[in-house]
Every structure is written in structure tokens, then in C-alpha cells.
Amino acid sequence: MSMKGGAIIVGSLLWDTTPERKRWREDDLCFEESFQVYLPIRYGRRYATRKNTYTMVFSNMCSSGRYGLGSGWILPIRTEINSFEDLKEEAQNMGKVEGIGSGLSKNWGSVALLLNPNKEIDDVIRIEWKKLMTRGLIDHPLFTEKLKSEKAPIDSNEFLTIKWPKELSRKNKIDKLDFLIATAIVPTLVKGRYPTPHQIVDAMQNARCYKYYKRNREHEITNFQDERISKLINRTDFMRKD
């Protein structure tokens, strides 16, 4: 077994300069080989640690024409994966920098696995991942906190349910990867609905905190809401230092 993988990043894991996250990017990932992909993402999780502003979540509804795909990054994992234990270690490393820990799942989110459908993947990977993850997924909010009409971002074995991403640049870098790991985050819904651009901007203005949105824009992490959000933001407030 010899596999190559990558980490899907759609937020602060890409630009946060805290020592733990910076060390993870430098030691575990090939930042210099990173590339952009289309992803079904939107602002949806309200975080107290970010002054109750909204952060990015996966949403399968974004694959529809009504909404549209955003863009995030894939950073290849630096080392080859030669066993399931190697893959598990990389997933745990991601969980640690996300604040989930080595258990890979908490009530607000979970590390998840996506396999390349165009590759022949050893069944051991599927079997062992299922055995590892199933215990922590009983009644997980990721299955219920979504639109009624959309598929949950993970399945019962903690595999991501999004489609295998396409590159923006079409250089076929993603075709060389056998798997991707990512963090699926539970959104903060109100009466079964995702936040509107107005609510997203109100949260930033009330907190006088635009850092997450600004840094995402600076690093070309985008979604279908960005144009509307940018128009709603008071420019004076937006340019104020966080």
C-alpha cells in the first residue's frame, strides 16, 4: 500500500499564525505545492471564539445551480501513506490543530475522509476507517443540522459526501492524490436555515471583527455569498483594524 493524500482547507487553517497550526502546515503539509479547488462551502457556523462571527462549513446544496461552488485549497500531505496507521496519524494531526483532538470527532465537528473515485483504493482503508469512526457518530448533529432537502456533509462512516473536487487551474494535481482529509463543521441554523448575507455582516459589525472574512478573501477562499457580503459591509468598518 502506497498512497498520497491532501488536506482540504477552507478557512483559518490556511492563514492562522498560531504556533501549532503554523508547525502543522510546515511539518505535515507541502504548502509550496498547494492548489485551489472548487468546493461546496458557505458561511454557516457561528463561533464564540471568533466573537460570534460566522465561519465556513460544507453544504451540499452549494453544488446546485441555485447557489454555486466556492473555492478552497488543497495542501498535499508531505509523506507517503504506507498503512492505515499512517493515514490515521495524519487525520489525528488535523484534528489536533482544529481543536477536536485525537478522537477525531466532537459534537461541533469531525475530521472526515474522501477517497478518489478514480483510484483503486485498498479495501483495508475503508474497513479500518469505518471501524475507527462509527463509534463517535451516533446521533451526530452533522446529520441533522442541515437543510431538509440536502445531503449531510458526511455519511454514517464519516466519509465526506461531497464530490471529488475539480481544480481551478486544471493542472491535474488532484488526480495524483488518493485521498483527502477535511473537517466537517456543524452549522448554526436558525429555524432550519443557514444565515443570510445580512446576518453574516450584522454579526461582524456587532463584534467589530472582520478578521476571518478578510483573511479568507486575501487568501482566495471564496463562496457564492461573497459579492453580496462585500456590498453590505460598511467600508469604513471593514478597513478598521481588528
Question: Picking from 33-47, 76-90, 129-143, 203-217, which range would have the lowest pLDDT averaged per residue?
Answer: 129-143
Ordered by start, the domain boundaries in the chain are 5-239
Q: Determine the pLDDT at residue 190.
A: 86
Is pLDDT at 87 greater than 70 in this prediction?
A: yes
Give residue for cell 486544471. Answer: 170
Q: Determine the pLDDT at residue 103.
A: 79
What's the average model confidence in pLDDT over 210-215? Answer: 94
Higher per-residue pLDDT: 20 or 171: 20
Tell me the pLDDT band of 134, cut-offs 50, 70 and 90.
Answer: confident
Per-residue pLDDT reduced to its tens digit, 155-164? 988 899 999 9
Query: Could you tell me which of 159, 170, 228 has the C-alpha nearest to residue 199?
Result: 228
Is pLDDT at 178 greater than 80 in this prediction?
A: yes
pTM of the model: 0.94
Is pLDDT at 242 greater than 80 in this prediction?
A: no
Higher per-residue pLDDT: 144 or 74: 74
Question: Picking from 96-100, 134-138, 146-150, 227-231, which range would have the lowest pLDDT averaged per residue?
Answer: 134-138
